[in-house]
Amino acid sequence: MLFKYNGIDSSGKKISSKIEAFSIEDAKAKLKVKKIIFNKLHEEKKSTFLSYDFRKKSNIKASALSEISRDLSIYLNSGIPLVSAIKLINEQYKNDKKMNTFFESISIFLDEGKNFYSALDLQKSIKLPEFYKQSIKISENGGLLKVVLAELATFLKEQERVKKQMITAMAYPSFILLVSLFVVGFMLSFIVPKITAIFTQYDQALPKITTLVILLGNFFSNNYQILFFGLISFIILFIYLFEKSKNFHFFVDSFLLKLPFLGKLVELSELSRFSYMNSILIRSGVPIVQSFNLGTNIIKNSVIKKVFLEASAKVVEGKRLSEALNSSEIYKVDSSFIHAIAIGEETSELSKILSNLTELYNENSKDRIAIFLALLEPAFMLFIGSIIGFIVIAMLLPIFSMNLG
């Protein structure tokens, strides 16, 4: 449980923060250990609305987690104990209440004798990726914490770089699409009805495409508010179902994989992430079976994740990963990936093979993304231009026929 408190610390400075404890008595004991004299101490209550808890763990950016992992690795390599390293990093987040609570909770759990993984798992402030916590757990048991933290820092930094690259690249096409849709909606809702008023003065049959555009214009003009709120409601419902319904999530992910070009891009991205994570873990001394189980936690697409979860279960039973993936009936993973895994298993060079696959898939993904974005912008322009051209022609045809008459 989280407890809020106000008080004075050992240096006489006023302090207001949160502390994790199992009970209020436990919270008081922990504050006493920290030499904090509290004025107020109470449990942070859950906010409920329609039985929904809004007091969730906060997400942490991959870039921030990368920096924390890097700093921890440096401190540990310098011979600084983990507890002291956590307190040193906490100094950088004095003005961030969430992060401050996060580090304080970890420090308290470590002081109580718990290991780093347990401290990360027990804290209630920040939501950490499952693969990250499991990597910490295994590396602690194997005495490889410093090495794995450095590798995780590099991995998280690379993931954040790719994400920013995609967002930046998609910004302009998305802006073009949004503005174009606004223009089309404006024309149908306001321009077309005004031009239609001219045609009603003449007793003349209108072309079919003009009639169609007029009907669409009237529909948008009379229902644009309903359409707008309907679109917003659809987006909210889609996001809710995607997060809460496993079947819906699986259906959407399956649909994405079936899309031409984009489906292959999604698959390459997931295989690259799986390869990179496993190359790190195997190179750090993590057993292959545990490495494969951890690697599945980093996969986001639920279809591919299910394939690897089932394959990992078969590996535990003694089967090779390449054979398990090849026999999957859920989704056929790229055959070149399976072949490369088989070579790695035969030669006992799986870590090196996975590292090479990561580089290969990263380069392949970059090329595909570049092509995709290069085609996306003109495709949007052509699509929207065709719609606007259709509306203009539909409005001009009756005018031409009136002039000819």
Alpha-carbon span 397 to 250, nearest angstrom: 48
Shortest CA distance to 123 belongs to which of 142, 143, 98, 157?
Answer: 98
Grade residue 238 by pLDDT with cuts at 50, 70 and 90.
very high
19-31 burial, b if ≥16 CB within 10 A, otherwise e?
A: bbbeeeeebbebb
Q: Is 11 exposed, middle or buried (0-12, 13-18, 19+ CB in 10 A)?
A: exposed
- Does position 53 have pLDDT exceeding 60, yes or no? no
Q: How confident is the model at residue 44 (pLDDT cuts 50, 70, 90)?
A: low
For residue 399, pLDDT beyond 80: no
pLDDT bin (cut points 50, 70, 90) of residue 50 is very low
Q: Has residue 47 got a pLDDT over 70?
A: no
Model pLDDT for residues 6-19, shown as the tens digit of each residue: 777 766 677 777 77
pLDDT for residue 68: 92
Q: pTM here?
A: 0.67
**Sequence-ordered alpha helix ranges (H) in 37-115:** 62-77, 82-90, 97-111
pLDDT at 71: 92
pLDDT value, residue 73: 92
